[in-house]
């Protein structure tokens, strides 16, 4: 892979952030084993990149997977000999972890495919990027290491366009904007992510308001980076959390500034969503093997469609901004 010209950082951090190697621990193991070369020279973790170099990562033979293949039905949007794109349902974990060992997308892929890339390690075969358990939509998986590396590099260089559909609380004052912060593990709750200062990792999200309703909006959101919980954290950060999000302010106990009638309607709509109203709707990429540009679209899941239908049938009043104490 070629390092972008403006890059100025340690190689261990660069490899971790690009996703070319699945985990930070794996990056360190590869560097300690002398399997990472920059412009043909073996380097250590402390090596600082200047931009423009060529990195070669030699992957050891993958360990036999401990994952149990499970014949779980998959909604496959696209598949060929190099990769596949799956429309993940709500409730499915992408790969094992935190006590979850069965029923994941990784288990299902193991049963569906004879060959999957080993870059993700024994617990993440073929998986190029992730979605939260309750988020629905498109996920890519690679069937060989070359395809996996190419897709990971394209993600890092922002050559793959990922568009999400989100229903959020309130009306955003700017109908189209970019949110740029640094995101990292919350200092008060290690299970959550948060907007941080210099200690966080760069996170860039763009959004466009597609529709506005009485106390909610439908957004089209694009990821420029891929941090954990990025969209959910960013939308909470600007005061418009994803509707129904139990972790990042999307299921408020009180509705400041809403009339009693609107409060009843809002609570009724929350009953339609037991999760965040967030869906990975579109993926646009250049196929690593054929060079052909491809676009994949996943329709809204039924719960989000039901919510949207109810919002569209309601009133279209003035904007409500959570946290401001009323309408504007």
| 186 burial type by CB count under 10 A (0-12 exposed, 13-18 middle, 19+ buried) | middle
Give tens-digit pLDDT for 192-204: 999 998 888 899 9
Catalytic hit among 12, 39, 75, 132: 132
Domain 11-57 has what CATH class?
alpha beta
Residue with tokens 């009953």: 271
pLDDT of residue 211: 96
DSSP 206-255: EEEEEEE-SSEEEEEEEESS--TTHHHHHHHHTT-PBTT-TTTTSS-S--
Q: Note whether 219 and 169 are within 8 A (CB).
A: no
How far apart CA 238 and CA 233 sit, in angstroms, is: 9
- Domains 76-156 and 161-327 belong to one CATH topology: yes
pTM, 2 dp: 0.78
Q: Where are the domains of the chain?
A: 11-57, 76-156, 161-327
Q: Other CB atoms closer than 10 Å to residue 136's CB: what's the count?
A: 30
Can you tell me the distance from the alpha carbon of 186 to that of 133, in angstroms, rounded to the nearest whole number? Answer: 19
Distance of alpha carbon 99 from alpha carbon 71, whole angstroms: 20
- Residues of the chain scoring pLDDT < 50: 122-123, 315-328
Element (H, E) at 146: helix 145-156
Q: Report the CATH number of the 76-156 domain.
A: 3.30.2350.10
Kindly give the interhelix angle for 145-156 and 11-18, rounded to the nearest 10 degrees.
100
274 noted as active-site residue: no
- Characterize 285-322 residue by residue with b for buried, 16 or more Cβ atoms within 10 angstroms of its Cβ, and e for exposed: bebbeeeeeeebebebbebbeebbeebeebeeeeebbb
Write the CATH number of the domain with boundaries 161-327: 3.30.2350.10
Q: Is 114 helix (H, G, I), strand (E, B) or coil?
A: coil
């Amino acid at each position: 892979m070629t390092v972008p010209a403006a890059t100025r950082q340690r190689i261990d951090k660069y490899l971790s952030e690009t996703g070319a190697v699945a985990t930070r621990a794996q990056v360190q193991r590869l560097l300690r084993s002398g399997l990472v070369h920059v412009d043909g020279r073996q380097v250590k973790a402390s090596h600082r990149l200047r931009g423009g170099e060529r990195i070669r990562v030699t992957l050891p033979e993958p360990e036999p997977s401990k994952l149990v293949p499970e014949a779980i039905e998959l909604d496959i949007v696209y598949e060929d000999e190099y990769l596949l794109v799956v429309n993940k349902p709500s409730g499915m974990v992408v790969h094992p972890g935190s006590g979850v060992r069965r029923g994941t997308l990784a288990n299902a892929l193991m049963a569906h495919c004879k060959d999957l890339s080993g870059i993700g390690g024994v617990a993440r075969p073929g998986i190029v990027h992730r979605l939260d358990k309750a988020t629905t939509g498109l996920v890519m998986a690679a069937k060989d290491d070359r395809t996996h590396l190419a897709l990971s590099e394209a993600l890092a260089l922002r050559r793959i366009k990922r568009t999400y559909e989100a229903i959020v609380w309130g009306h955003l004052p700017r109908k189209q904007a970019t949110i740029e912060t640094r995101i990292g593990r919350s200092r008060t709750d290690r299970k959550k992510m948060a907007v941080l200062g210099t200690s966080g990792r760069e996170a860039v999200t763009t959004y466009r308001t597609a529709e506005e309703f009485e106390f909610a909006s439908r957004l089209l959101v694009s990821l420029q980076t891929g941090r954990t919980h990025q969209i959910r954290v960013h939308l909470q950060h600007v005061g418009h959390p994803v509707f129904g999000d139990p972790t990042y302010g999307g299921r408020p106990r009180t509705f400041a500034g809403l009339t009693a009638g609107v409060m009843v309607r809002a609570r009724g709509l929350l009953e339609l969503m037991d999760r965040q109203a967030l869906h990975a709707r579109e993926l646009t990429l250049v196929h690593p093997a054929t060079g052909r540009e491809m676009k994949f679209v996943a329709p809204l899941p039924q719960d989000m469609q039901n919510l949207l239908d109810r919002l569209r049938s309601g009133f279209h009043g003035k904007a409500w901004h959570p946290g401001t104490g009323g309408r504007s």
